[in-house]
């Protein structure tokens, strides 16, 4: 699946990640969508390394799930590190 497809799926994944992990994020919904796009790219890359061939192709449920999982993990890491730096004087 091409990078453009992962970006489109990442938009959806960012919105789903925000829905799965509600709360105040440093940066708001736009940062969450960008995190979704980056999470989708990372998730797609990692699955491509683990699974031979191209099992994740096109925009379907599998790609959305992989992208959403990547976005949720990245959002959790972002909240952890951004929250820590916000509390530090």
Can you give the pTM of this predicted structure? 0.71
Question: What are the backbone angles phi and psi of residue 54, rounded to the nearest 5°?
Answer: -130, 70
Whether residue 6 contacts residue 41, with contact meaning beta carbons closer than 8 Å, is answered with: yes
Range of the domain at 25: 3-83
- Asked if residue 88 is part of any domain, the answer here is no
- Asked if residue 12 is part of any domain, the answer here is yes
pLDDT in tens, 3-56: 677 677 778 888 888 788 777 766 666 777 788 788 877 777 777 777 766 555
- Asked if residue 49 is part of any domain, the answer here is yes
- Asked if residue 62 is part of any domain, the answer here is yes
- Asked if residue 73 is part of any domain, the answer here is yes
- Asked if residue 44 is part of any domain, the answer here is yes
- Indicate the number of domains in the chain: 1
- Asked if residue 89 is part of any domain, the answer here is no
Q: How far apart are CA 72 and CA 19, in angstroms?
A: 10
């Amino acid at each position: 699946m091409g990078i453009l497809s992962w970006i489109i799926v990442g938009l959806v994944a960012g919105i789903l990640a925000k829905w799965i992990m509600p709360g105040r994020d440093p940066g708001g919904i736009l940062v969450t969508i960008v995190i979704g796009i980056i999470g989708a790219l990372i998730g797609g890359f990692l699955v491509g390394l683990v699974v031979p061939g191209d099992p994740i192709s096109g925009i379907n449920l599998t790609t959305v799930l992989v992208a959403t999982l990547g976005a949720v993990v990245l959002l959790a890491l972002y909240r952890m590190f951004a929250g820590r730096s916000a509390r530090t004087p």
